[in-house]
Amino acid sequence: MRYHTPATFADAATIAASAQGVTRFLAGGTDVLVQLRAGSVLPDDLIDLKHIPEVHSITRTADGGWRIGVAVSGASLGANKDLVADWPGVVEGMELVGSTQVQGRATLTGNLCNGSPAADSVPGLIAAGATVTVTGPSGTRDVAVQDIPKGPGKTNLKAGEVISALTLPARGKNAGDAYLRFIPRTEMDIAVVGVAVSLRLDGDKVAEARVALGAVAPTVLLSDACAKAIVGTTLDAKALDALGAAASGECNPISDKRGTKEFRIEVAGVLARRAAKIAYDRAKGAKA
């Protein structure tokens, strides 16, 4: 195994583009190192991104959004009060990943690139309308987060491409987001179902909404049907029922060791209703 510590993303992309065998980028390492130890993924080239400047920083963008470096840990996100105030749903999704020790290392970008449909931080990012900057051998491009996952363990990134930053849009006024997941325990578990809702209110009515569903399909889903079910409503019982039905209707899950197909479909609806209510309350000023 060759271990690389490039100083720029362009260098990282160049190394990755010329690598022949199994290549992995290393940020937090909470997936890569575990897979390496278990012998399930033995990279020929391991490219450590943590020596690149800015990968550890969280900065406000000119338009009031957020730029988050690829090595920013879950613990750092949670410690950033302004970010938490803007995007509590994004942060609470990330903070559900792993244990306290894992939180010291694990990153949003890593969680996304691991390609798990059950990744806890990804529904929140998608609901938020987050984008990533992808650096490749032929330059950079911006991609919506929902376009990164391809299927379990797979992304749409091409050989030699690496995510160099993650951007959250400006939150704006009268808006809130929330993420809920179902696990049989209370922590240290993988989502059986995860739902994120981000919405903006106009008075008491939902003016805009984005709903993302995790662990119910090969990739995290951004559901238009769910959004349509609540936009224009005050999130009354009828709207919540419509939202639940829409969420369940979007699911295309499997039965596995973590839960059955029927369970995932039903609970997706339950969590969508519950998460929407939290996001609504937050938009009304409730604190996370």
Partner 1 sequence: MPKDEIKQTFRLVGTRPDRPDGLDKVTGRARYGADFSAPGMLWASVVRSPHAHARIKKIDASKALALEGVKAVVTRADFPEVPAGEYWDLQENTIAGERALYDGHAVAAVAATSQLIAHDAARLIEVEYEILPHVTDVDEAFKMDAPVIREGAADYSVPEGSPPNVVKVLDFGRGDVEAGFASADLVKEGHYTTEATHQGYIEPHACVGQLGSDGKGEMWVCTQGHWYIRRMCAGVLGIEAANLRVTASEIGGGFGGKTTIFMEPLSLALSRKSGGRPVKLVMSRAEVLRATGPTASASMDVKIGMTKDGKLTAATAVFRMQGGAFTGSPVDAALNCAFACYELPAVHHLGYDILANRPKAAAYRAPGAPMAAFAVENLLDEMWGELGLDPLDARMMNAAKEGTKSSYGPTFKRIGFEETLEAAKAHKNLSVKLGPNQGRGVAAGFWFNYNGDTSVSLAVAEDGTAQVSVGTPDIGGSRASIALMVAETLGIEYEDVRVSVVETGALGVNEPTHGSRATFATGKAAVEAAESAIKDMCRRAAKKWGIDEDAVEWVDGAARPAGPNAGKFPPLSIVEIAAKMSSTGGPIAGHYEGNPPGVGESFGTHVVDVEVDPETGRTEILRYLVVQDAGRAIHPSYVEGQYQGGAVQGIGWALNEEYVYGADGRLQNPVFLDYRIPVASDLPMIDTVIVEVPNPGHPYGVRGVGETGITPPLPAVANAIAAATGIRMHSLPISPSKLLAAMNAKRKG
81 binds partner 1 (CB under 8 A): no
62 binds partner 1 (CB under 8 A): no
258 binds partner 1 (CB under 8 A): yes
Minimal distance in Å, beta carbon 187 to partner 1?
A: 5
- Name which position in 57, 151, 262, 284 contacts partner 1 (CB under 8 A): 262
Among 171, 181, 163, 156, residue whose Cα is nearest residue 66: 171
- Name which position in 18, 44, 256, 284 contacts partner 1 (CB under 8 A): 256
Minimal distance in Å, beta carbon 23 to partner 1?
A: 20
Task: Give the C-alpha separation, 104 to 90, whole Å.
Answer: 17
User: Residue 112 corresponds to which tokens in the numbers above?
Assistant: 């996304």
260 binds partner 1 (CB under 8 A): yes
Closest CB to partner 1 among residues 34, 144: 34
**E strands, the chain, in order:** 2-4, 23-26, 45-48, 58-60, 66-68, 131-136, 139-144, 149-151, 154-155, 162-168, 175-182, 193-202, 205-214, 221-222
190 binds partner 1 (CB under 8 A): yes
Among 272, 268, 227, 225, residue whose Cα is nearest residue 248: 268
- Name which position in 100, 139, 203, 257 contacts partner 1 (CB under 8 A): 257
- Name which position in 20, 39, 100, 287 contacts partner 1 (CB under 8 A): 39
Task: Give the C-alpha separation, 276 to 202, whole Å.
Answer: 15
- Name which position in 33, 36, 143, 270 contacts partner 1 (CB under 8 A): 270
Closest CB to partner 1 among residues 57, 255: 255
Which phi-psi region, left, alpha or beta, contains residue 236 (left: φ > 0; alpha: ψ -120 to 50)?
beta
Element (H, E) at 283: helix 261-283
Instruction: From 55-63, 148-156, 158-166, 252-260, give the range in contact with partner 1 by CB under 8 A.
Output: 252-260
179 binds partner 1 (CB under 8 A): no
Start-to-end CA span in the chain (Å): 44
Instruction: From 15-23, 126-134, 201-209, 259-267, give the range in contact with partner 1 by CB under 8 A.
Output: 259-267
241 binds partner 1 (CB under 8 A): no
User: Residue 240 corresponds to which tokens in the numbers above?
Assistant: 């919540």
- Name which position in 54, 147, 189, 208 contacts partner 1 (CB under 8 A): 189
Residue count (the chain) = 288
Task: Give the C-alpha separation, 240 to 211, whole Å.
Answer: 13
63 binds partner 1 (CB under 8 A): no
Interface with partner 1 by CB under 8 A: which residues? 38-39, 182, 184-190, 192, 256-260, 262-263, 266-267, 270
